[in-house]
Amino acid sequence: MLDFWIGHPTDAVLLLGLSTMRAAVAFLLVPLFTQDLIPALIRNSLFVALGLLGLLVQEIKPLQLSGWQWAMLYGREAMLGAAMGFLFAGLMWSFEMAGQLIDTKVGSSQAQVLDPLSGHQTSLTGAFLARLASWVFMASGGFMLFAALLLDTFALWPVHGAWQLLPAGMLAIEAEFGRMLRLALMVAAPSLVLLYLVDGVLGLINRYAQQLNVFSLSMSIKAVVGHLVLLLQLGSLVALLNEELLARPSVVTDLMKRLFH
């Protein structure tokens, strides 16, 4: 490899840029690697280091390509990195969506906070569950799992390979969206069921005690019930996160093979 860098420095730098593009796009989609949390110098150094490691797991050779062809390769690497980042980040997005569903049912979704992990506003319970998912991701070795899987993609889909995006593979992305929504509903379902029961009970109370202002009490009661259920299922949520995280490599590899060939 050293001989290649000495003999073809321009091609070597361009190939390093290709592999760095894949790593950068994949990691930037994961909420833990935003510019608000990690300084740009550290983050970019990590991307270049992973890109350099990616070149070590594949055969590299000089490419006689035009500027337009190089641009197409960079776009292709960005798509592959985006697909991989989406498949991993979807796990954390699902938990945030579950929190927003609960807050919407409680009626407190208007209380929005700016989440530095995702860079957008979210509800309070959504921010809590997003923090939980992020903590489990790092504490369970999700970063190392993600980095190892990223390096494996360089062996399966080399930066100079002839692989391409399959149009039929978009069905896999649609299926992953469905998987995210199902996971969000699974997490929020226990709280939602009890919140609907609370609504029913309060409706009966209001039917027979119309002078009682049930509406002013409903948000407080539902907030206590919803968050109490979340605290009771906290252990189960951590176990679910670990299970989903450990299953990610096989899921990601299978979906990526359906996307790119």
Question: What confidence score (pLDDT) does residue 236 get?
Answer: 92
Phi/psi of residue 43, each to 5°? -65, -45
Convert the pLDDT of each residue in 42-61 to its tens digit.
Answer: 899 999 999 999 988 887 77
Sign of CA dihedral 26, 27, 32, 33: negative
pLDDT of residue 124: 86
Given this model, what pLDDT does residue 7 score? 63
Tell me how far apart the alpha carbons of residues 167 and 43 are, in angstroms, rounded to a whole number.
32
Say what the pLDDT of residue 147 is: 92
Q: Tell me, what's the pLDDT at 255?
A: 83
Domain boundaries, the chain: 2-259
Whole-model pTM: value is: 0.86
Residue 112: C-alpha distances to residues 31, 109, 124 (Å): 18, 7, 7
Neighbours of 158 (CB within 10 A): 20
Residue 98 CA to residue 33 CA, distance in Å, equals: 22
Q: What is the pLDDT of residue 49?
A: 93
pLDDT, mean of each 10-residue run, the chain (261 residues): 64 87 91 80 91 86 81 90 90 91 84 72 87 90 91 87 76 86 93 92 81 78 90 92 88 83 74
